[in-house]
């Protein structure tokens, strides 16, 4: 059932309809409002006041929370730039890094290399080469484990963002310790999977979306259960808590505006206003970032690896 839905939403011909897709922020009986802890100070993280936030729990998937874009336009651009400029840099590992090489020139110049390519076609081709970067605990994709020996400092500003959102939602003891930043060109997918590599399987998982829209599937604990489909637009946040933390999920489609109903508006409207983060988003660099984001989605998913009061990974988690 899960794979059938995945293939349906992945299809290019025929193109799927979106009539059965949940849209965060639009009323639906299965999207139940969630109460929040209202906290000041989010503006420095690029967030609207929490009194304006809209958070829902998907009643068919207990524990699956969705937060409709709480970011200002300035905030969206700031986190996009962080994801493009800073997070692929050494010592973080990317899909293009040689994990056995510690040289600082391994991947830190990806953004500058991208910007230096004069021809747009070649630039777009090069942009597609970066698919993921890992922050904090570096994830071993081959063995599906984290390694205590390959633990880098978690970005302080991203940690502050996640802790703020977690506290507003009532998870004030959440500790951001690892993140995977996924870079999706239009046409790419993420196959169905569960996240089970963390020692703490009860802590929530926070997933931030920026750029082009995507269809997100969330099913049950086996692939036999038909999943629900959620449209994630730029700025939307998914929080997997409780039972949903063990559920299969996937991204079968990165969308373009032309595929979506007109009433949903243009994606770029969520980040196009002039911004106040000028030190990070100069006009020149933003032009390059905007060219990238026109054809891409960025997803930052943040996890707590260790159990509360646990100081290091258990031996079974070591490579």
Q: Is 261 exposed, middle or buried (0-12, 13-18, 19+ CB in 10 A)?
A: exposed
Q: Cβ distance 65 to 55 under 8 Å?
A: yes
* Overall size of the chain counted in residues: 319
User: Is the pLDDT score of 106 beyond 60?
Assistant: no
Say whether domain 2-317 belongs to CATH 2.60.120.590.
yes
Taking Cα atoms as reference points, which of 46, 51, 58 lies closest to residue 36?
51
The DSSP secondary-structure symbol of 47 reads: B
The DSSP secondary-structure symbol of 55 reads: E
Q: What is the pLDDT of residue 283?
A: 64
Q: Cβ distance 89 to 107 under 8 Å?
A: yes
pTM for this predicted structure: 0.91
Residue 270, classed as helix, strand or coil, is: helix
Q: What is the pLDDT of residue 105?
A: 46
User: Is the pLDDT score of 178 beyond 70?
Assistant: yes
User: Is the pLDDT score of 34 beyond 60?
Assistant: yes
Q: How far apart (Å, rounded) are the C-alpha atoms in residues 82 and 149?
A: 25
Taking Cα atoms as reference points, which of 319, 314, 295, 312 lies closest to residue 123?
295
Residue 81, classed as helix, strand or coil, is: helix
Residue range 217-228: mean pLDDT, rounded = 93
**Average confidence score pLDDT of the chain:** 88
Alpha-carbon distances, residue 148 vs 181, 183, 273 (angstroms): 20, 25, 42
Q: What is the pLDDT of residue 285?
A: 76
User: Is the pLDDT score of 158 beyond 50?
Assistant: yes
Q: How far apart (Å, rounded) are the C-alpha atoms in residues 281 and 285?
A: 6
Token match 């929080």: residue? Answer: 239
User: Would the annotation count 249 as a binding residue?
Assistant: yes
Residue range 112-123: mean pLDDT, rounded = 90
Ranges of each domain in the chain? 2-317
| Phi and psi at residue 143, to the nearest 5° | -95, -5
Q: What is the pLDDT of residue 120?
A: 87
Q: In this predicted structure, which of 130-134, 135-139, 177-181, 284-288 has the lowest mean pLDDT?
A: 284-288
> What stretch of H or E contains 83?
none
Q: What is the pLDDT of residue 315?
A: 63
pLDDT tens digits, residue range 268-313?
888 886 545 444 555 677 888 999 999 999 999 999 999 888 988 8
Taking Cα atoms as reference points, which of 243, 225, 301, 217 lies closest to residue 22?
217
User: Would the annotation count 195 as a binding residue?
Assistant: yes
Taking Cα atoms as reference points, which of 61, 7, 5 lies closest to residue 247?
61
Taking Cα atoms as reference points, which of 14, 69, 11 lies closest to residue 210?
69
Q: How far apart (Å, rounded) are the C-alpha atoms in residues 70 and 68?
A: 6
């Amino acid at each position: 059932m899960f794979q059938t839905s995945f293939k349906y939403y992945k299809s290019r011909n025929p193109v799927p309809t979106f009539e059965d897709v949940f849209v965060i922020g639009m009323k639906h009986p299965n999207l139940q409002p969630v109460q929040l802890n209202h906290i000041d100070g989010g503006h420095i993280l690029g967030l609207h006041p929490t009194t304006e936030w809209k958070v829902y729990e998907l009643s068919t998937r207990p524990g699956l929370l969705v937060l409709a874009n709480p970011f200002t336009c300035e905030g969206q651009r700031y986190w996009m730039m962080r994801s493009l400029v800073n997070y692929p840099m050494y010592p973080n590992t990317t899909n293009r890094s040689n994990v056995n090489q510690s040289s600082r020139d391994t991947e830190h110049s990806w953004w500058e290399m991208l910007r230096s390519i004069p021809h747009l076609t070649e630039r777009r081709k090069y942009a597609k080469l970066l698919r993921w970067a890992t922050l904090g605990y570096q994830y071993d994709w081959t063995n599906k484990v984290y390694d205590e020996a390959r633990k880098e400092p978690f970005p302080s500003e991203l940690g502050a963002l996640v802790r703020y959102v977690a506290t507003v939602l009532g998870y004030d003891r959440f500790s951001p310790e690892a993140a995977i930043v996924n870079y999706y060109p239009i046409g790419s997918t993420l196959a169905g999977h569960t996240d089970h590599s963390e020692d703490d399987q009860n802590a929530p998982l926070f997933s931030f979306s920026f750029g082009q829209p995507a269809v997100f599937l969330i099913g049950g604990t086996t692939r036999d259960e038909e999943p629900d489909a959620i449209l994630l637009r730029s700025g939307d946040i998914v929080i997997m808590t409780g039972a949903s933390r063990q559920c299969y999920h996937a991204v079968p489609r990165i969308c373009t505006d032309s595929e979506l109903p007109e009433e949903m508006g243009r994606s770029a409207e969520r980040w196009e206003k002039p911004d106040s983060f000028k030190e990070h988003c100069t006009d020149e660099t933003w032009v390059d970032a905007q060219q990238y984001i026109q054809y891409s989605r960025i997803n930052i998913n943040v996890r707590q690896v260790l159990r509360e009061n646990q100081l290091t990974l258990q031996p079974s988690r070591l490579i």
